[in-house]
Amino acid sequence: MEVKIEASWKEVLSNVFKSTYFLQTAAHIKTELATGANIFPAGSAIFNAFNQTPFNSVKVVILGQDPYHGSGQAMGLSFSVPQGVKPPPSLVNIFKELKSDIGLPIPTQGDLTPWAKQGVLLLNAVLTVRENEPASHAKIGWMHFTDAVIRKISDEKKGVIFLLWGKFAEQKQTLIDETKHFVLKAAHPSPFSADKGFFGCKHFSKTNELLAKQGLQVIDWHI
């Protein structure tokens, strides 16, 4: 099928887009939309992470689980919300760690697009959700797709830094070749777990140290 996605991703994922599971996932979403379901993010933003961060630009991957399920929150970038939308608790905790780690003032808005444009792939494992029904699309095929994305990055790139926050994200570690990539793990930034190892993880400064050692441009974490 014809997928509207940034050209470099369209090329490296060409076989994935022809796969049975991907076609079934797309059909499932179309069926739900036809019955009047509200699905987030909007269709034009489902592949926003890929459109903002071309394959050749990926230096860092921050893996989320599910899009925000409240109206107006999801924008196709993990943990990010559009300008004008109040940052959710997990994102607030990310900002707290940024301040503790590298001294950045806590932002008043939560649009992480500036990170994406610098090579930070803000990837959710599941790319859509029904309104007010968390994890409602967790089993329709998206995880096969995003696992394939992680494998493709692992296979075809080197020196990428994967930030895996929480037990769900840590399960993806098996998809990554750690002989040529870096994996940083911590608790999830959710209020339920942030004090169990997310606060104090210093992943933002550690990421920049790893980039600098490779001679790569570090990330400006301001938004």
Which one is catalytic: 66, 101, 155, 220? 66
54-55-58-63 Cα dihedral, nearest 10 degrees: 100
Cα angle vertex 47, ends 58, 189, to 5°?
70
Question: Is 177 annotated as catalytic?
Answer: no
Cα–Cα distance, 72 to 64 (Å, whole number): 18
Active-site amino acid positions: 66
